[in-house]
Chain A
């Protein structure tokens, strides 16, 4: 289990960016975090595998604090973090070298590294460009490689920090499917500005000004659009539309997906 226990964090010592944050993530769970720009989402991502350490409270991996040096090192491999812009994550000059990077840091043998690279590239369908420099790939392919570079380390928990924000709808769907696939036996912490991507969540955490202001199921969270607007959550068009149609009895099920709303309307 990955657990935030009363975590408060400040970058400069007096301005608290996160305040008393508590939540947990089990393997197989999908937890989303939404919130306006600057609410502290990325800071949570950086705390999750010990890139940053909290001044108050603790982040625990299976009960042990990431403030412990050995646990912190372990957390780098057990908790993967994938960031928004794949271009700023590539280390290797070819895709293959980039996949190898984390495994080299683990100190693995090259035969083992090779078999792991083969396995993950087969699974994510990136085998055909293993020998390409990442700069030649499309946006979707780049993000897939960034995903693979972290997943190849076989983490138990993966944090996704706005990984679809630079992608077109088709690639966004593809990446999201891959994430759902790996979610089966891994815990996923999914940070996003897109409500429709959170529909698979077991829980959604709403962040505002460094506080967790609400936690709930996708329906519980998005049906209260007035509250969400009051804490500056954006992209609420579908939620508002869906809520109004539901109130007027025009649809039966609350939905964040426009196509699904239209389908329901057409059925009635």
Chain B
């Protein structure tokens, strides 16, 4: 676990990979909101096709798409089960104890497709954007909130430092675990509770260590002239070119088609 990568960035350079991360975050966020305004099943299916198209465009492997569904599969089945059997309405199938209604059936299809599209969208974002770009993009996204006295610079600095610390803390956890194992600690056997408790001697030194590091980092930052809340300039600016304009137009057209579909099938 010497090198640790955050997210599941895949190293190919496509249109979507190269897109300005700020715009990418904004567009994905926009699509997510759009998703919740749709009413007809036709529009949902068109959205799904669009998502699959983006995945192909970004040359992401089919296997990785499937594996990105693993974390939500339980959530998906759980909600489906409840919607399917516990929505009151016209009964289409009576299994004595459980009754499937027409409303339940359509509701669960809606929810399933929504969740699937949502997963595809987040997968697209995290697998075509490096953690670095995600953090930088996020900073720009929240930048406008500065006028409401929201501490944008501080928050983005916090995020970038946290990202900085993640691999270091993992390395450290690895080191501590090895040291404890050399002294006979066992992290693999026993039930969940026993195993969780055996991690305590790892977590505690890790937390102490993190505090110590944070203290040193604060000093290093102050030493380079950082004062919290003080005005400073910003080196990073995002490029905005032909690709970005194209992406916006593309998404606008997609929105238009969605609304037309909604109009026709409503």
Q: Do A and B bind each other?
A: yes
Q: A residues bordering B, Cβ < 8 Å?
A: 46, 49, 51, 73, 76-77, 80-81, 83, 85, 87-94, 96-97, 100-110, 113-114, 133-136, 149-150, 153
Question: In whole angstroms, what is the CA distance A83 to B213 when docked?
Answer: 12
Kindly list the 7 A-B residue pairs having the minimum CB-CB distance in the complex, ordered from nearest: A105-B225, A100-B235, A102-B224, A88-B216, A89-B220, A76-B225, A135-B167
Question: In whole angstroms, what is the CA distance A45 to B248 when docked?
Answer: 52
Partner of B213, one of A88, A104, A113: A88
Question: In whole angstroms, what is the CA distance A105 to B227 when docked?
Answer: 8
B235 and A110 within 8 A (CB):
yes
Question: In whole angstroms, what is the CA distance A85 to B167 when docked?
Answer: 15
Which B residue sits closest to A108, measured CB to CB? B233
Question: In whole angstroms, what is the CA distance A87 to B193 when docked?
Answer: 34
Binds A, one of B10-18, B110-118, B128-136: B128-136
A87 and B213 within 8 A (CB):
yes
Whether a CB of chain A sits under 8 angstroms from the CB of B226 is yes
Which A residue sits closest to B133, measured CB to CB? A93
Interface size bracket, B side: 20 to 34
**10 sample A-B contacts, Cβ–Cβ < 8 Å, listed by A number:** A88-B213, A91-B157, A91-B161, A94-B132, A100-B236, A103-B233, A107-B232, A108-B233, A135-B3, A135-B168
Question: In whole angstroms, what is the CA distance A51 to B223 when docked?
Answer: 7
Whether a CB of chain A sits under 8 angstroms from the CB of B231 is yes
Q: B residues bordering A, Cβ < 8 Å?
A: 3-4, 131-132, 135-136, 157, 160-161, 163-164, 167-168, 213, 216-217, 219-227, 230-237
Partner of A49, one of B223, B231, B232: B223
Partner of B235, one of A46, A73, A97, A149: A97
A91 and B168 within 8 A (CB):
no
B224 and A105 within 8 A (CB):
yes
A51 and B235 within 8 A (CB):
no
CB-CB < 8 A to B3: which residues of A? Answer: 135-136
A91 and B223 within 8 A (CB):
no
